[in-house]
């Protein structure tokens, strides 16, 4: 059955109401909550909007969806009337500024979370704009913030687009409560209190929330530290110190409250809500999702974001990998939880029954695909270590390394009727894989779950840069790569590795970029895509970028902020491109490495003005089948991978 025919099977009745008429069709006089979101409405468990609304529905609350409303006037926010309990506001699955702008601060031309990929469906700083519209429409109605934009901007934070430290988004939005992290139990608790008649401004004891109070108000939890916004915006050392405290108090077992002062008001972050345990996760993923975008978007071509996840399954949450450029540690936390095998297999069976299923499960993953359990038993009793990462710079000796449950899970899915192939497209943590002395999973991954190429994330080869990233030494990746191609060859397949690479990360000098270029030259790999470091809120790397200080150890870090130097670093990583030739030559001259300009096999680039090479791609050695170059079509930007 075609995709077009599939859409006809879904009607507005399969979704929560998106208009006043749809609400009336359900027999509602009003909604308990109106959920305002910057994304188009996709009712799939890969979307926070969908999960939170279905969870509240399952608890007996009426939730209406106001998706991508016209933000130029408050009228659109009156669509459902005043909700009985309040408004829930989220910018969407990603920060609205990241959705709108590239790292070069240029406007993007495509939005995966909007109908037809069209830009302009939501405003910059969507959370703040939506809240202001709601206040204009309804005055003192309760407003609860959630989603990634709110979660990662909950404290005073460096904003790359304004190039300054902005106030907490709770202050700027004039909302009542901010929820951070995974919000199911947080929202259930808030809804229960509001339903009992507790005023929203009195809800101060819910874990996983941030609120504004008076200096004399009681704080319900022990306080780790107190900071002042005026000091944080003026003192980079103090700002780095504050982030270090925030980062180390994101564990539900040992985290404490954190306070920031704003002009006579006190912002309080309560400790995190405990992560959902296996039975709770199973319940969340058993709810009646339509598993597609709302049919009202069909005329515009649908919502592109569903394409990558429609036949994919999330089996875990959290990540103890804790890369410094990734916001997951600050949002989902470093404590991992996973669904039961039975729950995941049930979802896989549900997918096989979808009319447009072609036999391929695109992914059984999560933040890191090959994590199934917390890193060690200690985390279950005492929480995560505040001053030690589980995997970097080397695996902790207390870490439990076991792929057996994940292997069995994949095997159970493969047994289902209609399943032709189960792929793994989420990130594989290769250092964790290598630490497993049993190669059963490694062999199964290579044999059964790679769709021609496996994407992995070494990111760099310089030890200094990798230390700033919180990544393992490059020798670990090289060991993984060698074994990957040995296994690939042993089963008679031609498969490739596609390494994610990052330029200009804090700690990376021009010399480090050259080191990576020479590594790529040695291995015969010509990357089609290189990601420039993007300073997004909520990451240790962004703090390094702004302050020049590693907030996790207090050490000074070199930071490339000059745009031209960023161009030079990026050009070195893609030295084989003719359009980069002059930049590469400039970089090599700056480094005193003119010996790499020429025609020898060790040279990165030919001299400018060489007629035999003018306009042509520099000659590349022929790569054996087991080396790193890929044969792939130009791909769209990967909206799943957000760093």
CATH number for position 470:
3.30.750.200
Q: What is the pLDDT of residue 387?
A: 86
Find the mean pLDDT for residues 137-146.
97
Q: CA 424 to CA 434: how far, in whole Å?
A: 17
Give the count of beta carbons closer than 10 Å to the beta carbon of residue 565.
Answer: 17
CATH number for position 134:
3.40.50.280
* Model pLDDT for residues 163-219, shown as the tens digit of each residue: 999 999 999 999 999 999 999 999 999 999 999 999 999 999 999 999 999 999 999
Which residues face 268 on adjacent strands? 211, 259
Q: Which residues span the domain enclosing 502?
A: 452-643
Domain boundary among 141, 168, 203: 203
* Model pLDDT for residues 318-347, shown as the tens digit of each residue: 999 999 999 998 988 899 999 999 999 999
3-class DSSP assignment, residue 349: helix
CA nearest neighbour of 147 among 120, 183, 118, 112: 183
Q: How far is CA 438 from CA 85, 375, 413, 428, in A?
A: 53, 17, 22, 16
In this structure, are strands 337-338 and 316-317 parallel, antiparallel, or unpaired?
antiparallel
End-to-end CA distance of the chain: 36
Angle subtended by helix axes 540-547 and 236-247, to nearest 10: 170
3-class DSSP assignment, residue 369: coil
Residue 183 domain-assigned? yes
Structure tokens at 570: 């990026």
Residue 171 domain-assigned? yes
Structure tokens at 230: 């005026």
State the pTM of this model.
Answer: 0.91
C-alpha torsion 47→51→53→58, nearest 10:
160
53 has a pLDDT exceeding 50: yes
Cβ pair 182, 314 in contact under 8 A: no
pLDDT band per the 50, 70, 90 thresholds, residue 87:
very high
Query: Range with the lowest mean pLDDT among 133-147, 377-391, 465-479?
Result: 377-391
Place of tokens 């005492």: 382
Element (H, E) at 456: strand 453-459
Q: CA 491 to CA 442: how far, in whole Å?
A: 13
Residue 563 domain-assigned? yes
Residue 379 domain-assigned? no
Residue 36 domain-assigned? yes
Domain boundary among 188, 203, 218: 203
615 has a pLDDT exceeding 60: no
Residue 508 domain-assigned? yes
Q: Where are the beta strands (DSSP E) in 489-620?
A: 496-503, 531-532
36 has a pLDDT exceeding 50: yes
Place of tokens 């106030």: 167
- The domain tally of the chain equals 2
* Model pLDDT for residues 350-393, shown as the tens digit of each residue: 999 999 999 999 999 999 999 999 999 999 999 999 888 999 99
Q: CA 583 to CA 598: how far, in whole Å?
A: 15
Structure tokens at 592: 């005193």
Residue 484 domain-assigned? yes
Q: What is the CA radius of gyration of the chain?
A: 25
Q: CA 569 to CA 512: how far, in whole Å?
A: 9
Residue 282 domain-assigned? no
- Cα 19–Cα 22–Cα 23 angle in degrees, nearest 5: 90
Domain boundary among 141, 174, 203: 203
3-class DSSP assignment, residue 542: helix
């Amino acid at each position: 059955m075609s995709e077009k025919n599939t859409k006809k099977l879904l009607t507005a009745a399969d979704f929560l109401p998106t208009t006043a008429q749809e609400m009336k069709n359900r027999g509602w006089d009003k909604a308990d909550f109106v959920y305002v979101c910057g994304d188009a409405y996709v009712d799939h468990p890969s979307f926070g909007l969908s999960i939170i609304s279905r969870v509240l529905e399952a608890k007996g609350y009426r939730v209406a969806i106001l998706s991508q409303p016209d933000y130029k006037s408050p009228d659109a926010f009156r669509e459902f009337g005043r909700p009985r309990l309040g408004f829930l506001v989220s910018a969407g699955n990603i920060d609205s500024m990241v959705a709108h702008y590239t790292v070069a601060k240029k406007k993007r031309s495509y939005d995966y979370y909007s109908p037809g990929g069209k830009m302009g469906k939501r405003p910059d700083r969507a959370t703040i704009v939506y809240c202001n519209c709601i206040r204009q429409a309804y005055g003192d109605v309760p407003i609860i913030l959630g989603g990634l934009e709110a979660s990662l901007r909950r404290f005073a934070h460096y904003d790359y687009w304004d190039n300054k430290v902005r106030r907490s988004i709770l202050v700027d939005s004039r909302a009542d409560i901010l929820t951070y992290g995974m919000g199911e139990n947080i929202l259930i608790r808030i809804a229960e209190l509001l339903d009992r008649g507790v005023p929203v401004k009195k809800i101060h004891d819910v874990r996983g929330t941030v609120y504004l109070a008076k200096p004399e108000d009681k704080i319900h939890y022990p306080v780790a530290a107190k900071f002042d916004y005026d000091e944080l915006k003026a003192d980079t050392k103090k700002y780095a110190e504050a982030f270090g405290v925030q980062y180390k108090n994101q564990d539900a077992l040992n985290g404490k409250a954190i306070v920031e002062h704003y002009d006579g008001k006190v912002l309080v972050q309560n400790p995190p809500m405990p992560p959902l345990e296996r039975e709770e996760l199973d319940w969340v993923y058993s709810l009646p999702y339509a598993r597609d975008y709302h049919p009202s978007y069909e005329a515009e071509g649908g919502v592109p974001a569903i394409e990558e996840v429609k036949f994919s399954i999330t089996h875990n949450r959290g990540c103890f990998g804790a890369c410094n450029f990734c916001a997951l540690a600050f949002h989902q936390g470093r404590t991992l939880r996973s669904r039961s095998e039975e729950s995941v297999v049930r979802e896989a069976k549900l997918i096989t029954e979808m009319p447009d299923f072609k036999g391929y499960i695109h992914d059984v993953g999560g933040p890191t695909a090959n994590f199934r359990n917390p890193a060690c038993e200690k985390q279950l009793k005492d929480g995560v270590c505040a001053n030690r990462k589980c995997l970097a710079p080397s695996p902790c000796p207390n870490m439990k390394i076991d792929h057996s449950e994940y292997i069995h899970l994949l095997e159970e899915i493969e047994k289902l009727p209609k399943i032709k192939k189960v792929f793994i497209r989420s990130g594989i943590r290769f250092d964790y894989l290598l630490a497993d002395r049993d190669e059963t999973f490694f062999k199964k991954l290579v044999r059964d779950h790679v769709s021609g190429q496996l994407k992995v994330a070494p990111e760099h080869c310089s030890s200094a840069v990798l230390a700033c990233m919180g990544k393992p030494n490059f020798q670990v990746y090289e060991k993984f790569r060698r074994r990957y191609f040995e296994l690939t060859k042993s089963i008679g397949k031609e498969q490739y590795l596609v390494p994610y690479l990052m330029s200009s990360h804090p700690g990376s000098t021009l010399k480090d970029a050259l080191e990576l270029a020479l590594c790529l030259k040695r291995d015969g790999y010509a990357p089609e895509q290189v990601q420039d470091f993007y300073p997004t809120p909520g990451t240790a790397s962004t703090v390094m970028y702004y302050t020049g200080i590693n907030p996790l150890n207090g050490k000074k870090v070199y930071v490339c902020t000059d745009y031209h130097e960023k161009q030079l670093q990026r050009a070195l990583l893609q030295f084989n491109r003719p359009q980069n030739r002059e930049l590469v030559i400039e970089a090599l001259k700056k480094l005193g490495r003119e010996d790499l300009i020429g025609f020898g096999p060790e040279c990165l680039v030919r001299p400018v003005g060489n007629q035999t090479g003018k306009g042509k791609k520099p000659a590349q050695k022929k790569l054996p089948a087991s080396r790193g170059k890929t044969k792939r079509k130009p791909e769209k930007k990967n909206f799943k991978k957000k760093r």
